[in-house]
Chains A and B, each alone.
Chain A
């Protein structure tokens, strides 16, 4: 009984989100539309409650693969970013209108077009999936939680807009998703085959004593399959279509939630190995994935005429940057006990950058969602042309968020990139190939500035098109504002967050880890000083 209670102790936030999802579904069936409109508030309430439980609730004493601080960090990040995402999604005005028209009998009822409580139920289920991924201690658990993240998003994409392109993109998303699941499941099978366990701590100890090519192959396949979730090469094909086809709030959701779950899952899988892969096939797989993902994302981003597609390719490119940090791996065992800042700890950099990227990109998508053209959401560069004359506030948020995506100091994205690339440089003693990866990453950042500046150029110097009109959606404006402020404020005073991310990522590796040479202090660590 106490084993069960201990297992439950770690998942109260997820249980809360699951309950919230059920309540949202029930509320969504209410007769009065005023009651149905409460679902977004109820969803927010349960989200905050799960955040409180994550901090103050019972903590598990054992059975976690990731360090408890890291689990807490990811859960809180999910809650915080989830609230912002909820603000972006809260009204989904086009759908509410369609629902209203169906109720009044003006239009025939079409279940695909009306938005009810189940959208928020799926929203909460998916967030619960990310939280469960962090607490996973078994391959079965990891598989189920990754599926819990993805299955609701397929429905969210399909029902997000009453345009046919939403459904088309949902089908593409779903089919590639099903393929990806099969691939990483085969990887999981091989991991089980190599070790004989699905319990991750036992896999860890079994992997420490024997090295088997089957285990390596299993982890390789699992990473390739999970690359669908993080929108990385070779499973990135859906990204542009889905980001463009889904309604903007759902696009913002996809940019954060599956990506976070995917990276957490890869971190869990790599911590199965006796030591972080700095050599060998897994290292080269991640190296090639990172280089290709960045390059494909940025080169394709240059060619787009749609802002949403451009941001989709930017999402691919950012996965590439994140993979650089992932490859660098956890902190070197320094004699100073981690006093040299977060540089050197790739995992902390990844955790930090996930939030930094999420806030920047959600801000940009929220601005897009605040403008509509001919009754549809803004999409092409022409649609946002001259945004600054009509909506200076929205244009300013777009400016700040996009510059953060470029990585311009002193914004949030700059700090994130310094930590990501800096940690790879700090680990160059382990493998000189890391240096080349950083070179590729920096070159890519420079290339990416071209298309990011196109977005800013369209907002500030484009000729205002007469067709744009503001979307009546106050909560989305609030979300845009929150992101804009967060990107600036956290960029300037982000030290606390970085420390939090670093503390949270003291990855528990098995004991054979060899004390590596301290190289991290050659890099400037006090980047906030200036």
Chain B
């Protein structure tokens, strides 16, 4: 019962903050709303017995990723005389078309959800499910190769960023 109440509170805040991100006039407001959205996602992960995911959601997303966004927003937009006007005129019927397409995506996803209505009740979980111990065991045994490949992805990203950020003469 308590879990349901927490779920609905977190769900409503997450959706409201996502809408705020999309509708925000200033990028800084969008970043703050994004943090709230990520923290609520962390709460939802906890409700799903995904302890480790909740932790990395808050540390990696609400921490690292948002700090990157904050750096860029603070770096780029403080010196601009009119930060509100960083968007030019919209394309023809951009907003209505986008909302129609969004509604189409929602209908499609809703159809997928409706198919899953027959999946039956969620079973109980063993105590260890989602714990960091079990996660680490799986990650370093069954899924060792994908884990190593993510290291490669990060390496490529680092090299790419350093290459792009180098001094040009």
- Check if A and B associate: no
Measured CB to CB, the residues of A under 8 A from B are none
Measured CB to CB, the residues of B under 8 A from A are none
